Amino acid sequence: MKNFLQMELIERRDLTEDLAVFRFRPEQPVEFIPGQYMTIGIEKEGKKILRPYSILSSPLDPEVELLIELVPQGQLTPFLWTLKPGDRLWYRPRILGKLVLQEDSNRNHHLMVATVTGVAPYLSIIRTFHYQLQRRESVTPPRICILHGASYTRELGFLAEEMQRYDQQYDWFTYVPTISRPSENPDWQGEIGRVEDVLRKWADTLGFTADKTIAYACGHPGMIQNVKEILQRARFERQQIKEERYFTIPRAKGGTDASSAAGRA
Ligand SMILES: Cc1cc2nc3c(=O)[nH]c(=O)nc-3n(C[C@H](O)[C@H](O)[C@H](O)COP(=O)(O)OP(=O)(O)OC[C@H]3O[C@@H](n4cnc5c(N)ncnc54)[C@H](O)[C@@H]3O)c2cc1C
């Protein structure tokens, strides 16, 4: 495919049967800013099927990781689940996306809100700071809080464990996982509810006030809409809230929005 290169699947690490981290070795090193996304795809019956995915890995990782949810009726993701290590996919070497850390602002608090896979761009940012600090590079990370929502704990899995380690290690970082369906996890000690249910509480508790904070919302469009409304009531201005919607929700009959942030993404 013109303007595309190939990358090889190294490994798929499953969180659930329909949620996994795919690790690829690209033909050429991929240059990107943490928070950006890459476009990957296939050619099927002469037709290109291309989809964007936030990059979960850091630019300092040797390979590229993507956190992907299977959409059973989708065109690309069912195919991704058939891939075996060694199989190849196309990727566009030109990396895009604006959900990157807004470092040049006067606001040095960053409130990052995600539904399941929407955590990928944020983890890329945190991992990059972690590697830079390990290498003793002179970086001063700003104050960052990730609020990560899922239905079940298994959707958080080893990614939550990684972020919990950073939370324990660094004063500048707070990780708050929350699950909306706790009945399957009676031992769960963390937050219960959708991510937007706990947003205001954590923003207030940690002092992420509108005068010093940039907010980010990534993943499910229903969640993003709710987060924007909640933060605007907390005096955030529209331009202080960055967003990346992973898909759009079809309008229900009668013109109402069929959104529900209970879903994944
Ligand atoms: C900037 C950007 C970054 C993205 N990053 C990620 C990422 O890191 N991880 C990830 O898994 N996805 C991500 N997505 C979504 C991804 O690009 C695809 O849309 C998704 O994987 C479905 O592709 P598909 O071809 O299987 O389904 P499609 O054939 O594209 O979609 C079939 C139908 O399912 C709907 N749909 C698509 N995704 C979902 C979903 N998650 N839940 C419910 N319905 C859905 C579509 O709107 C459509 O109606 C991102 C999207 C954007 C715009």
Q: What is the CATH number of the domain that holds 22?
A: 2.40.30.10
Co-location of 83 and 128 in the same domain: no
- What pTM was computed for the model? 0.95
161 is a domain residue:
yes
Answer yes or no: is 99 within a domain. no
Q: What is the mean pLDDT of each run of 10 residues along the chain (265 residues)?
A: 94 98 97 98 93 98 97 97 97 97 88 98 98 96 98 96 98 98 90 97 97 97 98 96 94 53 54
- Written as six digits, the tokens of 149 are 């929502």
Give residue 250's pLDDT.
Answer: 78
Any ligand 1 atom below 6 A from CB of 120: yes
Same domain, 189 and 127: yes
Same domain, residue pair 174 and 139: yes
113 and 85 both lie in a single domain: no
Listing from the earlier edge strand, what are the strands of the sheet with 143-150? 191-192, 173-179, 143-150, 109-115, 213-219, 241-245
In this prediction, residue 186 carries a pLDDT of 87
The reply to whether 199 falls in a domain is: yes
The reply to whether ligand 1 has any atom less than 6 angstroms from the CB of 236 is: no
Q: How far is the CA of 246 from the centre of ligand 1 (A)?
A: 6
Nearest protein CA to atom 21 of ligand 1, as residue: 77
Please state, in angstroms and rounded to a whole number, the distance separating the CA atoms of residues 70 and 264.
10
The Å distance, Cα 198 to ligand 1 centre, comes to 25
Q: Indicate if ligand 1 lies below 6 Å from the C-beta of 246.
A: yes
Question: For residue 197, which amino acid is it?
Answer: D
**Residue 38, both tokens:** 């890459």
Q: In this structure, what are the phi and psi dihedrals at residue 178, rounded to the nearest 5 degrees? A: -140, 140
For residues 20 and 136, membership in a common domain is answered with no
pLDDT at site 114: 98
Handedness of CA 222, 150, 198, 163 (dihedral sign): negative
pLDDT of residue 257: 45
Number of domains into which the chain is organized:
2
Ligand 1 centroid from CA 81, angstroms:
14
CA of 232 relative to ligand 1 center, distance in Å? 27
The H or E element spanning position 258 is: none
Q: Is residue 262 part of a domain?
A: no
Q: Residue 87: which domain range?
A: 5-91
Please name the residue whose Cα sits nearest to atom 4 of ligand 1. Answer: 53
Write down the pLDDT at residue 265: 66
Distance 9 CA to ligand 1 centre (A): 20
Same domain assignment for residues 32 and 135: no
Supply the pLDDT for residue 202: 98
By residue count, the chain amounts to 265
